[in-house]
C-alpha cells in the first residue's frame, strides 16, 4: 500500500522493557533494555512504540517496590486511565492507516504493567496471582470500549528468562 520499505507491523512496549532505569528501587534486572527483545524486533522489522511508565510519572520519583493493593487508589487508576486512553488513541490512528498493531507487551510481576502474573498483596510482594496490573487493566478496558482487538503478552525482566521472552514474541508474531 505504501510502496516503500516499512513492514507495517508495530508493537507497543511497556516503558521499562526499553529502559530499566525507570524501575522501582532494587528491582531493575538489566542495565538498559531487554537485549533479546530489541534484537528480535529489529530482525523482524517490527516498529516499536514505548508506552509511558505510569509509576514514574505519577509518583515523580523512582519509588520503592509495591503491590497492587497499595497502588490501586482512585487517583492512580484515573492517571492510568488517562495514559491508556492516549495510547489507545494512537493505536486507533495507526490501525486507520492500515498498519498492524500486533501486540501490547507488558512486564510480568509488575503491579501496573503485568499481563498474567501480578503481585496483589503488600504482605508478600513476591507472591503472584493471575491478573493484570492497573495500567494494563485500563489499556484493556480502553480497547474494549472502542471495540479494538489487540493481543497482550507479558515478558519477564530476569535475563535468564530471555528464551521465554523470545518465544512469547515469536508466538505473538505468528498469531498476528
In the complex, least distance from residue 83 CB atom to ligand SF4, rounded to whole angstroms: 10
**Do 15 and 50 form a contact (C-beta atoms < 8 A)?**
yes
Query: Residue numbers of the site for ligand SF4 (CB under 6 A)?
Result: 14-16, 22-23, 53-56, 107, 110, 112-113
Q: Cα dihedral sign for 143, 145, 149, 155? A: positive
CA distances in angstroms from 69 to 72, 119, 124, 167, listed in the order given: 6, 9, 11, 31
Within 13 A of 51's CA, how many CA atoms are on the CB side?
A: 30
Q: How far is the CB of 133 from ligand SF4 (least distance, A)?
A: 7
- Residue number with CB closer to ligand SF4 (32 or 45): 32
Compute the least distance from the CB of residue 57 to ligand SF4, in Å: 9
Q: Which residue is nearest to ligand SF4 (CB)?
A: 16
The smaller minimum CB distance to ligand SF4, of residues 105 and 162, is found at 105
- CB nearer to ligand SF4: pick between 6 and 127: 127
**Closest by Cα among 114, 48, 109, 108 to 80:** 114
DSSP 8-state class, residue 24? P
Smaller CB separation from ligand SF4, 22 or 122: 22
CB of 68 vs ligand SF4, minimal distance in Å: 12
Cβ proximity of 59 and 70 under 8 Å: no
Amino acid at each position: 500500500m505504501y510502496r516503500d520499505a516499512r513492514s507495517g507491523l508495530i508493537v507497543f512496549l511497556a516503558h521499562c522493557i526499553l529502559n530499566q532505569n525507570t524501575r522501582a528501587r532494587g528491582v531493575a534486572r538489566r542495565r538498559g533494555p531487554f537485549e533479546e527483545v530489541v534484537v528480535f524486533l529489529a530482525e523482524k522489522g517490527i516498529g516499536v512504540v514505548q508506552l509511558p511508565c505510569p509509576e514514574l510519572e505519577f509518583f515523580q520519583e523512582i519509588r520503592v517496590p509495591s503491590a497492587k493493593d497499595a497502588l490501586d487508589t482512585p487517583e492512580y487508576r484515573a492517571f492510568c486511565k488517562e495514559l491508556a486512553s492516549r495510547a489507545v488513541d494512537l493505536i486507533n490512528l495507526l490501525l486507520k492507516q492500515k498498519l498492524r498493531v500486533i501486540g501490547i507487551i507488558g512486564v510480568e510481576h509488575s503491579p501496573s504493567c503485568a499481563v498474567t502474573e501480578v503481585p496483589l498483596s503488600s504482605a508478600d510482594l513476591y507472591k503472584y496471582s493471575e491478573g493484570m496490573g492497573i495500567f494494563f487493566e485500563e489499556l484493556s478496558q480502553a480497547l474494549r470500549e472502542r471495540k479494538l482487538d489487540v493481543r497482550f503478552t507479558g515478558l519477564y525482566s530476569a535475563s535468564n528468562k530471555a528464551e521465554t521472552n523470545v518465544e512469547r514474541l515469536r508466538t505473538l508474531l505468528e498469531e498476528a
